[in-house]
Structure 1
Amino acid sequence: MDSWKLEYRCFNPQQQGLREALCTLGNGYFACRGAAPEATADDVHYPATYIAGCYNRLQTEIAGETIENESLVNAPNWLLLSFRIEGGDWFNLSEADILSYHQQLDIKQAILTRTLRFRGPAGRHTCIEQRRLVSMDQPHLAALQTLIYAEDWSGAIEIRSALDGHIVNAGVERYRDLNNLHLKSLTAESVTDDMCWLEVETNQSHIRIAQAATTRFWRGDKVIGLKPRVDRLEGSISHLYKTELDANQPLRIEKIAAIYTSRDHAISEPGLEARKAVAQSATFEQLAGRHILLWKQLWRRFDFDIVHEDAEEEDRTEQILRLHILHLIQTTSPHVMDLDVGVPARGLHGEAYRGHIFWDELFVFPLFNLRMPEITRALLRYRYRRLDEARRAARKAGYHGAMYPWQSASNGREESQHLHLNPKSGNWIADNSHLQRHINAAVAYNVWQYYQVTRDMEFLSFYGAEMLLEIARFWASLASYNEELARFVILRVMGPDEYHDAYPDKDQPGLNNNAYTNLMAVWVLLRALDLREILPTQRFSELCQTLNLSKEEFALWDEISRNMHVPFHQDDHGHDIISQFEGYQELAEFDWEGYRNKYGDIQRLDRILEAENDSPNRYKVSKQADVLMLFYLLSSEELDELLTHLGYSFEYETIPRNIDYYLERTSHGSTLSRVVNSWVLARANRPGAWALFTEALNSDVADIQGGTTPEGIHTGAMAGTVDLIQRCFTGIETRGDVLWLNPSLPEGLKSLNLNIRYRQHVLGLQMTTTCVRICTEPSAEQPIQIGIGGKIYHLKQGEVREFQL
């Protein structure tokens, strides 16, 4: 196995959707699914191009209600290139007599290659070789190179090169009953014999999208000038070229496309820029050379090396981790530094969740914090620009401060639906997921972790602190004092679990005192109070004046941070368990064995129970980690400090007891679940961490949820698996101006090497089960503090230190 290649050696229509998602190419500005160039959307193929931040809203009548959905728009298809031989049918992969087929994604170079041989009429053999890229060097450009070999025949061939803007969003079956026509045609024109262009506009957000493409032909080194027949339909434009093939020399075709929108910076208008870009573009090989160079530079920052006792396991693990890094960079590359975009939960790879931004950045940002924190900084600005919308949402709900939405898209309003479709039953049911107020803790946590890694005081002073303070203000207003408990409580929310959105047989949605929510609210309040000592005095004073923050408000935050209620209950052995929420212990135990025997795959237990006219609200079941998220985000030291601050006792044994208790009651209905559970097992030095890690690793490549990956990758799960290698197994923790290292390599993993950035220092980490070696590159930065084994050491630039474990 080549750990830098993802390969498929046959054409499999049933697997095509999955392969298209996994072979998506992108550069942070836009991405193109790995569909065949000749394909149009049908039951097998779904070609699609998505532009970061390009959203549109449509209304649909459903179940007697008008609902409005905002979606990441499927942009015009630039890729279309097909052919037919001597007036026959246009080539169709599903109908051709395929003799050999090989598709390869070069992970290192981000280039997709396809080679196929087929037998045509009269037994003639033809070979096709194709390469494509979405340029990392020039973010508006993409390119396709095609070579056609007539192996044992000569004759006429017709080539069709098109730009198709007659596109709908139809990549998710359960959304197809909703209105999905987002684009209206503006222009479709032939400019020259080798260039055409089109322009469309989203019908609600009025974003203009322009594409231009050149199609050029070569025999050997000789350019062939062909005059096309132009085929123009509403929303599409095609150039049809006729030429001759012979067995002595292949026909080379290069299609270069440019994409611009009216949201772009430093342009006159998108159509002009697109036409100019392709007119001045280099050849495919020249574009590829610069593209490969940029990726080589990125891999210097993001690659790693592991040694596993099983060589095959080592190669497979490295291959999938590198594939995950590829897709994360293609979704959030350095190009996002100049864009107003967030991290879509399903990347720029498909239409699941309509391209919305959830809390997945909680799992994505740690990778970039320690490799290229400038990307995190840019993506956090997405949240800052929507701070006023979060303030409006809080006021509308009767709270103070800023209340961020569970699902966000263009302007930061709440995009969560009131209804969603259960494909198992066909029923439209109430969706209360907007009650996941813990998204606010995630935003605050991301701000704080970015600051801890970078010590970017400018960002904290002018962006991050304001978000932290307004989120703290929200938590304080959401909390209320309970006289009976003599503690503060948080009512009517949902936790990360998502299976539980109400108490059994209650009409009112929401749960009381979700432990994760309550503890993370306290964590945010404490970090907001820390700002008094961290920020420059003048800037902190300015913020207090601007936000009208008083000493009394800070005193209230301090009181809540010492007196928040955390529910506990006892397990069958009489040990204290942190309750997922108040009343959790009163729920019924679930018949796991019976349902596994009946249904086999019960990951989406919520859909199964709803189809039976039942509900997970009645049972001790979880879709994914909830309480265990505390052990994922907080070290045992931090959790000890937090619970002690609240007046609760903490024993280290609390962690393994809670892990065992909730693992037995989790269906892993989310790809994030295995990431979190593997993390907490690894940090607790428990067996099974590597097994869960490899399951999480296979979430997308094996589509373990049975059909979700073709609708888009899972950015959180992909980032989470990489972060297990980067932070969990290394024990990296950034707190108190110290980079803490506490390695805990799981069973089978012999060594781990990677480079990270911490406060402008580039550190090389080499870890085994017995030793840690740290080297720093020369720089002008001040020494940093490294914590190992409870001791703190100063590390100067250019220094090498080795520590025995």
Structure 2
Amino acid sequence: MAVSPYETIGLFSLHSGSIPSARNASLGLVVGIPQGTTCSSQSCIDQSLKLGADEVVTDIGQLQEPALYTWYQTRVKEYSWMISYSSYAPEMELHREVLTCMGNGYLGIRGCFEGERASSEHCPGTFIAGVFEPIPEEAYVKGPRDLLVRCPNWCLVEFAIDDGSFESVFSGQILSYEHSLDFRSAVMSRTIVVRNKQGQDTQLVTRQVASMPSYHVCAIEYTLTPLNYSGKVTIRSSIAVDDPQSVLQPLNILEMGRKEHAEKGIYMVAQTAVHKTMIVLHATHNLMMGAHQVMDSVTVETTPTSVAENHIFSAREGTPYTLHKVVSIFTSRDSEC
């Protein structure tokens, strides 16, 4: 049939397992229909929405013309600009990070979650046009022997509750997950609700951009909301060479620390191993509660491969706290340097 996916309405039961596939196939409207008696109506509705259903009905007669007209006139137009995923799939994350990359002509950023370091499931990476390095002879593969260098990871933002450790969000129970890239606004975003081993629920909403008019500048908006607890929270924002053994990150760190002059923040100066290209990154931070500055305690910590700024504050249940992270990136190849 000569019908585009956006003109298609798909009806799927929760137990068919087809809702995530239909969502990723970009159908115009994915409708979930709870069936069977093994779950309550509300639990099936919630589960269907979590898997990616746009609407959930208990009877096909609920799909009336006015509602369908509104859907196709408004929400489908919005969604047509977006690529989105409504569930976390570890085995697919490397693939999704590529599909949700952002760039501005000067640099490109993989769509990795801000709280993750390099691993078998995640590969945070910023690549700058023209910054190449030859790969070692023992790593030769078919194809080019010069590869783009993966710059220090400036995206890294993590949190800890009370005196707990900084752990991967995905080591907890993911209660809801949404990852999207809006091609119209060029904003990559995630909304995650996670429950840790202590039963504390936290909502994270992140947004990331690479500036077009100021192409050396990138920014992250990281909003944390304690959903069922109050207490001390630490948000740690880092610049890190998180995979120094990788052939894609052949960097030597020359200098890093905290800038104490007019424009405070943390910085790192790294140099590529062969071509000696210098890469300089500087990050500033601002922690807000709505329109008000948060009275937080700020400390700086360094390791042999990273520099981080810790923002420590007392969080209240149900209150969102937003860390704004603005990063500038330059290299010795830039005429502006």
TM-score surpassing 0.5? yes
2:124 partner amino acid: P
Kindly state the Cα deviation for residue 121 of structure 1 after the two structures are TM-superposed. Answer: 4.0
SS at match of 1:71: strand
The aligned residue for residue 304 of structure 2 is 234
The aligned residue for residue 55 of structure 1 is 132
CA distance in 2, matches of 1:74, 1:129: 25
Kindly state the Cα deviation for residue 151 of structure 1 after the two structures are TM-superposed. Answer: 1.7
The aligned residue for residue 52 of structure 2 is none
Q: Gaps spanning 5+ residues in structure 1: where?
A: 171-178, 268-805
Is 2:196 the counterpart of 1:120? yes
Taking the TM superposition and a 5 Å limit, the aligned residue runs for 1:46-445 are 46-61=123-138, 69-168=145-244, 170=246, 182-192=250-260, 195-267=265-337
The aligned residue for residue 34 of structure 1 is 111
Q: Gaps spanning 5+ residues in structure 2: where?
A: 1-27, 29-78
CA distance in 2, matches of 1:243, 1:101: 26
Kindly state the Cα deviation for residue 61 of structure 1 after the two structures are TM-superposed. Answer: 4.4
C-alpha distance 62-17 of structure 1, shift in aligned 2 (>3 A): closer
Kindly state the Cα deviation for residue 152 of structure 1 after the two structures are TM-superposed. Answer: 2.2
The aligned residue for residue 296 of structure 1 is none
Kindly state the Cα deviation for residue 69 of structure 1 after the two structures are TM-superposed. Answer: 3.1
Using the size of structure 2 for normalisation, the TM-score is 0.71
SS at match of 2:169: coil
SS at match of 1:157: strand
Contact 2:150-2:249 within 8 A present in 1 as well: no
CA distance in 2, matches of 1:126, 1:182: 36
The aligned residue for residue 432 of structure 1 is none
Q: Following superposition, which runs of at least 4 residues in structure 1 exceed 3 angstroms of deviation?
A: 166-170
Q: What CA RMSD, in Å, does the superposition of the two structures yield over aligned residues?
A: 2.1
Contact 1:111-1:131 within 8 A present in 2 as well: yes
Taking the TM superposition and a 5 Å limit, the aligned residue runs for 1:576-655 are none
SS at match of 1:42: coil
Is 2:90 the counterpart of 1:22? no
Contact 2:118-2:242 within 8 A present in 1 as well: no
Kindly state the Cα deviation for residue 169 of structure 1 after the two structures are TM-superposed. Answer: 7.5
CA distance in 1, matches of 2:100, 2:295: 33
Kindly state the Cα deviation for residue 168 of structure 1 after the two structures are TM-superposed. Answer: 4.1
Kindly state the Cα deviation for residue 55 of structure 1 after the two structures are TM-superposed. Answer: 0.8
1:120 partner amino acid: N
CA distance in 1, matches of 2:215, 2:103: 9
Once the two structures are superposed, what CA deviation does each residue of 1:75-101 show, in whole Å capped at 9, x if it has no partner? 111101000111223241331111110
C-alpha distance 226-53 of structure 1, shift in aligned 2 (>3 A): same
Aligned length: 255
C-alpha distance 167-259 of structure 1, shift in aligned 2 (>3 A): farther
Kindly state the Cα deviation for residue 143 of structure 1 after the two structures are TM-superposed. Answer: 0.5
The aligned residue for residue 82 of structure 2 is 5
Taking the TM superposition and a 5 Å limit, the aligned residue runs for 1:516-535 are none
The aligned residue for residue 788 of structure 1 is none
Once the two structures are superposed, what CA deviation does each residue of 1:669-720 show, in whole Å capped at 9, x if it has no partner? xxxxxxxxxxxxxxxxxxxxxxxxxxxxxxxxxxxxxxxxxxxxxxxxxxxx
The aligned residue for residue 718 of structure 1 is none
CA distance in 1, matches of 2:174, 2:242: 30
Once the two structures are superposed, what CA deviation does each residue of 1:51-72 show, in whole Å capped at 9, x if it has no partner? 0110112442479xxxx93221
C-alpha distance 216-62 of structure 1, shift in aligned 2 (>3 A): closer
Once the two structures are superposed, what CA deviation does each residue of 1:325-366 show, in whole Å capped at 9, x if it has no partner? xxxxxxxxxxxxxxxxxxxxxxxxxxxxxxxxxxxxxxxxxx
C-alpha distance 89-139 of structure 1, shift in aligned 2 (>3 A): same
C-alpha distance 36-180 of structure 1, shift in aligned 2 (>3 A): closer
Contact 2:117-2:242 within 8 A present in 1 as well: no
CA distance in 2, matches of 1:45, 1:25: 16
SS at match of 1:228: strand
SS at match of 1:232: strand
Kindly state the Cα deviation for residue 150 of structure 1 after the two structures are TM-superposed. Answer: 1.2
C-alpha distance 188-62 of structure 1, shift in aligned 2 (>3 A): closer
1:60 partner amino acid: E
CA distance in 2, matches of 1:258, 1:120: 33
C-alpha distance 254-194 of structure 1, shift in aligned 2 (>3 A): farther
Q: Which has the higher strand share?
A: 2
Q: Which has the higher helix share?
A: 1
Kindly state the Cα deviation for residue 122 of structure 1 after the two structures are TM-superposed. Answer: 4.1
Kindly state the Cα deviation for residue 181 of structure 1 after the two structures are TM-superposed. Answer: 5.1
CA distance in 2, matches of 1:31, 1:251: 28
Contact 1:76-1:167 within 8 A present in 2 as well: no
C-alpha distance 34-169 of structure 1, shift in aligned 2 (>3 A): farther
Using the size of structure 1 for normalisation, the TM-score is 0.31
CA distance in 2, matches of 1:75, 1:31: 10
Q: Which has the higher contact order (CA 8 A, sep 6+)?
A: 2
